[in-house]
Structure 1
Amino acid sequence: MASVQKRGENSWLLVVEAGCDANGKRIKKTKTVKGMGKREAEKELAKFVTEVEVGQYIAPEKMTFSAFVDEWLEKYARNELSPKTLENYIIQINNRLIPEFGHLRLDQIKPLHIVTFLKNLQQVGGRKDGKEGKLSSGMIEYIHRVLKNVFNRAVDWKVIKTSPMEGIKKPKVEQAEMSVFDDEEVQRLFLALEKEKIMWRVMITLALTTGLRRGELLGLEWKHIDLETGTIDVKQSLSFVKEIGYQIKEPKTKNSVRKVAMPPSVIHEVKALKIQSAKERMQSGELWQGGEHFFVFSSWNGKPLYPSSVKTWWSRFIKRNSLRYIRFHDLRHTSATVLINKGVHAKIISERLGHANILTTMNI
């Protein structure tokens, strides 16, 4: 037996009977839905009946953290978070949060549990990638953010009254010392690039001279480059999500959509790469995998590069040429540092990098 009972303005109590307990007392499952008319509430009741009958319904007060995460994924995360953000959230949930809290009921998780968990992450051995040392403060702050998001939804949906995250300060992020190449290292880098394939040579040169992000470089198409004026229109970024594949979207922020001038010394190499790319596209014929896109940096058949392949190539290149290791992203910081050392105004550098605020440039 099931019924819909009006509780208030557009608020309804769904009641489903689920047999009797050992003492012969009727078992009733209830659920409140809001913001809908009676017809919509009756549709929700039909779904609720099915959940109870197949044993999928879990009373909120008995829901474990693991069970709630499933609800959070289905009813919030997959719709509200970007695919890449969702992928990163799920990694932390599966690797750290479920093993720690998955078996506990939501109402059993207290602030002290969270504080202890975050404290333990700061200890040596907290990494999951096999590397030595401690987990970075930035990653600990990220895990805190994921936990807060999950518990905030639990409060919003009235599964728990208060979040155990309340009163817990966000972990302080210690800014790592910036690693950039100095002038001598930049010269050694360019000498080493002379031995590399033209695609990698142009990519690294543009990263160093224009300050484009990795995703912006990978999303760059030939139609975005004007070789006559020597400018690049930064209009999109490319990323890769396991469940979805390649994604092309607008750059990181509104200010990231910009026009960047290339140094005259780079244009000749870019022209040579364009000629080579055009030949490869023609030769690939039916094997072309670029679709309507013609990326500047891609495989011979037009298929976009995996962002991780750029990181792998860069690490091997650095080791092969005995250069000091800096991240690929640090080429962007090196680009800004070179301009600062040449006396270029911070506002111009900020616009070139696509920062939303000049303070961002100066703080970095």
Structure 2
Amino acid sequence: MKTTKTKAKPSANKTKRSRNGTGHVRLRADGRWEGQYYFEGERKSCYGQTEEECQGKLNVVLGKIYRGSYMDGSMMPFYTYMHFWHEKYILVRLATHTNYEIYIEKHIYHSKLGSIPLKKLCLEDFIDFFREKELSGRLDKKPGGLAPKTLRNMRNMMSEALARAVNRLQWLDRNPIEGLKTPKVSPPQIQVYSKSHQTCIEQAALYHEDKNALMVLIDLYTGLRIGELCGLSWLDFGPGKEYFKIRRILERLSKKWAENRSEYQRIFMVGGKEEGATALYLGPPKTESGKRVVYTNDQAVLGFNRIETYQKKMGFYRPDGFLFVNQNGNPYEPRAYNKLYRDVLQRAGVDYRKFHTLRHTFATRAFELAFDIPTLAEILGHAQKTTTENMYGHSLDDTKKSAMARFNRSVG
């Protein structure tokens, strides 16, 4: 008698693994198309808005698996991903690139967070990281942590990078940093020189033997940022120095990010070291509002004329040259000017405050002279008028009180 053998049924507790490079496309409940495939025994997905888009992405992945060039981005360590994202995907101001580089290379790289694969990241990992940075995150080894604004900027950078891993690269299902709270950023305390201190500073700048000290006087009557002042050229002036144009700023930037950006012009310094990682560049202002025409006043013109006379006397005046140059004819870079600025304050008998205090002082004096907010915002180059109002609200209140007092006197 002939017997037939029946195949044994697979055990219910065993899951059959599909081989690498197999996949299919399905429509999800949320309306997106999902391409599912297998790699090293794990099911993975890619997504598209249409079936054709999703199938195309799936075909690319399957082709890479077949050729052996496929990389599972979800297992990339967080530091590696952040470095990859920063190098390849973002286009920001060069100063922001420098900050991102510090966050990634100096903070994330040396942390436990940096070694965790993307797919294994959770909110608790970020909470631990930021708590540590808040308490003891300073790079100079001094006690204390990072400022709330730095923590917020670092969180925003990470969130933007991880959003790409979710939405564009589709290496993650969700953004693991969502819901993270960093310390509240308090509005900066605006420091202003008093009228008596301003008078002393002006006199010290006027009679300083180094005429570049007049930059201090000029800023008290124009309110420019120091990078805008250092980037000024004699070509920027209109007839009779009635006005000048802010078209560019001078700043020290990383060569790595600036060299291939056509809008940045490198300034080669006489006697300077060329092998460093940074160099001086002329580049566009921070915002489009930063490009503006600034009309002058008598005090500012006095400063400009004295500088021009001094340069001609010393023999290094050039019609297309910078306003503020040293004995070698090199332009003053912002951070190097701080030494001369400190000397002016010392001669004036005034305690040191950041150079930006001169800009705040100009804005405060302008409010005292009843400048309206739109006009002052345009002079200062603020992108939003609310920025001017929020920063100098204390001055605006004083102006309102003074105006009301005048109204009462006129009625009486």
Give the shorter-chain TM-score range. 0.7 to 0.9
**Would you say the 8 A contact 2:79–2:104 is kept in 1?**
no
- Alignment counterpart, residue 369 of structure 2, candidates 333, 342, 348: 342
Residue equivalent to 2:140: 129
Q: Take 1:143 and 1:72, find their aligned partners in 2: how far apart are those partners?
A: 14
Residue equivalent to 1:113: 125
Q: CA 1:191–1:282 in structure 2 vs 1: closer, same or farther (change >3 Å)?
A: closer
In the TM superposition, what are the counterparts of 1:11-50 in structure 2 within 5 Å?
Answer: none
Q: CA 1:271–1:93 in structure 2 vs 1: closer, same or farther (change >3 Å)?
A: same
- Alignment counterpart, residue 97 of structure 2, candidates 76, 82, 86: 86
Q: Take 1:81 and 1:89, find their aligned partners in 2: how far apart are those partners?
A: 10
Q: Take 1:154 and 1:281, find their aligned partners in 2: how far apart are those partners?
A: 58
Q: CA deviation digits over 1:244-291, x for unaligned, max 9? A: 43332332222222222222133233123123335666589xxxxxxx
- Alignment counterpart, residue 61 of structure 1, candidates 74, 81, 85: 74
Q: CA deviation digits over 1:283-326, x for unaligned, max 9? A: 89xxxxxxx95211233444333322123443455456542222
**Would you say the 8 A contact 1:106–1:160 is kept in 2?**
yes
Q: Take 1:152 and 1:231, find their aligned partners in 2: how far apart are those partners?
A: 46
- AA in 2 matched with 1:155: V
- Structure 2: gaps spanning 5 or more residues: 1-19, 27-32, 259-278, 392-412
Q: Take 2:145 and 2:335, find their aligned partners in 1: how far apart are those partners?
A: 23
Q: Are 2:246 and 1:246 equivalent residues in the alignment?
A: no
Q: Take 1:131 and 1:191, find their aligned partners in 2: how far apart are those partners?
A: 38
Q: Aligned residues, how many?
A: 338
Q: CA deviation digits over 1:55-111, x for unaligned, max 9? A: xx742232101221232133213xx22322111110111121222222111122211
Residue equivalent to 1:225: 237
Cα offset, 1:128, TM superposition: 2.0
TM-score (norm 2): 0.69
> SS at the partner of 1:187?
helix
Rg comparison, structure with higher value? 2
- Alignment counterpart, residue 172 of structure 2, candidates 149, 153, 160: 160
Q: Take 2:320 and 2:105, find their aligned partners in 1: how far apart are those partners?
A: 35
Cα offset, 1:196, TM superposition: 2.9
Q: Take 2:73 and 2:349, find their aligned partners in 1: how far apart are those partners?
A: 58
> SS at the partner of 1:86?
helix
Q: Take 1:121 and 1:275, find their aligned partners in 2: how far apart are those partners?
A: 52
Cα offset, 1:336, TM superposition: 0.4
Residue equivalent to 1:183: 195
- Alignment counterpart, residue 205 of structure 1, candidates 217, 221, 224: 217
% identical equivalent positions: 23
Q: Are 2:336 and 1:333 equivalent residues in the alignment?
A: no
Residue equivalent to 1:276: 310
**Would you say the 8 A contact 2:308–2:317 is kept in 1?**
no
Q: Take 2:379 and 2:223, find their aligned partners in 1: how far apart are those partners?
A: 7
Structural RMSD (CA) = 4.0
Q: Take 2:347 and 2:24, find their aligned partners in 1: how far apart are those partners?
A: 72
Residue equivalent to 1:287: none
**Would you say the 8 A contact 1:256–1:354 is kept in 2?**
yes
Q: Are 2:108 and 1:97 equivalent residues in the alignment?
A: yes
Residue equivalent to 2:397: none
